[in-house]
């Protein structure tokens, strides 16, 4: 990422003037090579999560660049009906760049079974369907040391 910025507009109060902005991320430059890990440390509210979201393009950076595997991610947005949306390329990249939430309840819907949860992304990206999908879920559970009987829980 190069000079990455995310500024959030705030509602201006009665006495209008220019609405103040929260500079949640304000000019971050860094790079991570394959196999490397980058730790980001800072007090609560300093912008760590916002930076992560901007790197993944879960929110559109105000300025700056994020390059992944030679692709300029910030160029992969399209404007549709006046709003920025992900291009198909960016959507496809979701298989290779994603967030792992600290709190599992933020990513795992407790009303879904283990099988539904594991199958969902495979369905979304047309990796498998029907019996092949069922089999794939079973294999994945085995691979991480979970009893396939947990599927229905």
Chain positions contacting Mg ion, by CB under 5 A: 48-49
Quick one: CA dihedral 48, 52, 58, 64, positive or negative? positive
Q: Which is nearer to ligand ADP, 50 or 74 (CB)?
A: 50
Binding of ligand ADP by 49 (CB under 6 A): yes
Nearer to Mg ion, 49 or 62 (CB): 49
Segments in the chain forming alpha helices (H): 48-55, 88-93, 114-124, 130-143
Q: How many residues bind ligand ADP (CB under 6 A)?
A: 11
Shortest spacing between CB 6 and Mg ion, in angstroms: 13
Distances (CA, A) of 55 to 9, 45, 148: 19, 17, 35
Binding of ligand ADP at residue 42 (CB under 6 A)? yes
């Amino acid at each position: 990422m190069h000079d990455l910025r995310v500024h959030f507009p705030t509602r201006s109060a009665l006495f209008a003037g220019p609405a103040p902005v929260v500079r949640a991320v304000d000019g971050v430059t860094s790079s991570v090579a394959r196999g490397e890990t980058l730790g980001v440390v800072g007090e609560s509210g300093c912008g760590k999560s916002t930076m992560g979201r901007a790197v993944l393009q879960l929110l559109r950076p105000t300025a700056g660049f994020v390059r992944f595997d030679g692709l300029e991610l910030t160029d992969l947005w399209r404007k549709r009906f006046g709003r920025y949306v992900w291009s198909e390329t960016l959507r496809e990249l979701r298989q290779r760049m994603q967030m792992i939430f600290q709190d599992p309840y933020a990513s795992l819907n407790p009303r879904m079974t283990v099988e539904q949860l594991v199958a969902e992304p495979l369905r979304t990206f047309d990796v498998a369907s029907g019996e092949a999908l069922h089999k794939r879920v079973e294999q994945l559970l085995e691979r991480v040391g979970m009893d396939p009987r947990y599927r229905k829980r």
